[in-house]
Structure 1
Amino acid sequence: MKLSVIGCGYLGAVHAAAMASIGHDVVGIDVDARKIESLSKGEAPFFEPGLQEILSDGIASGRLRFSTSMADAAGAQVHFIGVGTPQQKDGYAADLTYVNAAVDGLLPHLSPGDIVAGKSTVPVGTAARLAEVVEPTGATLVWNPEFLREGFAVQDTVAPDRLVAGVPDGAEGERAAAILRAVYHTAIANETPFIVTDYATAELVKVAANAFLATKISFINAMAEIAEVTGADVTQLADAIGHDARIGRRFLGAGIGFGGGCLPKDIRAFSARAEELGRGESVAFLREVDAINLRRRERAVQLVVEGLGGSVYGKRVAVLGAAFKPHSDDIRDSPALDAAVRLHGLGADVVVTDPAAIENARRVHPQLRYEQELDAALQGADAVLVVTEWDEYRRELTPEHAAALAGGRVVVDGRNCLDAGAWRAAGWEYSGMGRP
């Protein structure tokens, strides 16, 4: 099938390349000429495992191309909208500027029978409004939310755990669902569930999933706060309750909390939309979920300060991690960088290292010092703060090797990913999050 993908950021670029990899003819469109130039050369503009390979293959095969002209979307049977919905600068609500612009720009190039498939995360009610804009062209709007995990986005696009399609009522909706099934033929052949809903349910599925995951993370971090004043071990607590099949162990890793371009802004936008609908009390708990998450960043900094005797002024602190999670170079709302900036503000000589995200971090926070090599970052450090659980830190870095480079013996494990016993045995003053 011939597809267009409007918006070639993280979501759109991955979706375009993945659709080409399963045999579709895809054009990706974006107003950013530099990004389009990079993609057209087969160069991924951000780090995502597996993307470079399918991007290069798609360009070489002729099934994938990129353009800055919306006119090049004409003739596609399905048009995916994959632009960003950032948090508004003056509030919690989602900014729909890019979604609205993408749909408006696409309208002159739509033909009767086309499918416009929204993938962006939007407030409930957006699809119904946009459907009224699209319908006069003879095209049909569907809402097909994405459920990508950064670091696994290619896999999650080609072989997702579920597919959701919000469609209009009647024959028009049945036809649209059938076309989407054809788009995702590979996944459906591998028995991926394909769930057909109305618009509102499809929109809510994405934000509800993110709200639940954020709540689960903040729940265990709330337990970490209690553990810290009682002497309990939150890691053992999580293991114990995680054996209950109704709870499960995933997303019960206490630490410095969540970040990135989805969970923080999505739970805030959900809260704002619920307020607009007159049901703010229904998701009022999400405010506390957000607050708990932000408190854990401050707690990690506090542990470093305490470990260094009450002040970090003039002390060298090696911050291991800049990306908000491993296997990504995404620094949006990164707890790692937040902690680094807070320490810098307290007068510490902060040195940040990360396998993939240094250049992105440097552009946003040039006041920090950066070292690409882990050993260089550790050299002479009075304290070490682990904030992104890359394998390079949690598995490959030994306390003995770190001790040979660092000047001090203070390590704060912001992700509870180190072997506390091994680090203490090697002479380190180890502090975890919610661990005695």
Structure 2
Amino acid sequence: MTVVLGIVVAVVALALLVGVHLYVWRRLVRDTTRPGVVRRVGAGVVVALGVSMVGALVVPKVFGPRGTEWIAWPGFVWMALLLYVVLALGVLELPRLFALRALRRRGGEVSPTVAPVPVPVGAEATEATKTIEPDPEPAAGPSGTPLGPDRRLVLTRSVALLAAGTSLGTVGYGMNQALGAPRTVRVRIPVARLDPRLAGFRIAVVGDIHLGPLLGHAHTTRVVETINRTSPDLVAIVGDLADGTAAQLGGDAAPLRRLSARHGAFFVTGNHDYMSGATDWIAELAELNVRTLANDRLEIARGGAAFDLAGVNDVTGKSHHDGPDFAKALGNRDPSRPVVLLAHQPVQVKDASRYDVDVQLSGHTHGGQMFPVQLLVKLDQPAVAGLHKVDDTMLYVTRGAGFWGPPVRVGAPPEVTIVELHPK
């Protein structure tokens, strides 16, 4: 049953991919060119870009993230361009149709309606001689020059240029955001049970670093430097460290060893970590002095006061017999102490609230990464980004420091968040 479902999903996805590319080819190539070499070249470019996008998704998984950048860069950049060019064409579709209708009227074009044909006197009209279709040639203006086709071509080319320009501008801006250093965001979270002696305790929260074919050692270094500049008390890495195995990308994660926080650095698994070999990554992180909280907790103490720091595995771990266990992580604890929970997906707050968790720190959503993807994320998660309250639990969702797929962020800049805990 699972295999059949996978085949069905693959066929539907392929059909959708082909359909979208046909639409783009029609609007950007066929409608803007005359038959000939230019049209054939344009069709070839669209096909090549579509193949590169599929290759970007498949090749790094088969051959590893390193050495496959040649297909990942064009494929993933085209994925973002395709999204925005389709959105732009969709927005312009109705104005284009209205403009075409206006051109037909101004050019005096005649709709292909049925016109009567004179019948000789005394002759019987037959079905074949009653009507005839008019010549669909474009009507001429006062000077006798055809007006329709040239104006239509100018219009379709203008629409195509506007859509392509909008897409290029948006993706260019988004790449500049995604490939730059993450910004630092500061958030104060009130905690009812927090001892005043812990007021101002700072946790640097970072998630979704996504080491892979497009992000490597330099990216990790930027993240570490951003965190260290804030001098946090504790570092929380809330999942999705890599899109590749520890053997392939361990060297790119090495700068994490330089994380500086008086209470240490901690990690919880994300869905992509399970796809990349979570067990090996946990061992790799231990070598880098980053402790994984796998359905576990510990006491964080300062100045005679303390709170519990807990972490649960990602929900994807269920398929690897390593799912979240809230009872193990949060059971039998001192109810007088507040608890801060690290959990990759915001949706896990539903279980956290039942265990009287004060604060949950999560990632996973990337803040939507590319507008308007945020609208889809809202269908699956209780929050996309920022601070929210779910029952009595405060939920903070970071937009993350990396990206998945396209090296583009629109409306969701990369970030490292400094969470400050304060008594309520």
Fold match by TM threshold 0.5: no
Greater RCO structure (CA 8 Å; 6+ sep): 2
TM-score normalised according to structure 2 size:
0.33
TM-score normalised according to structure 1 size:
0.32
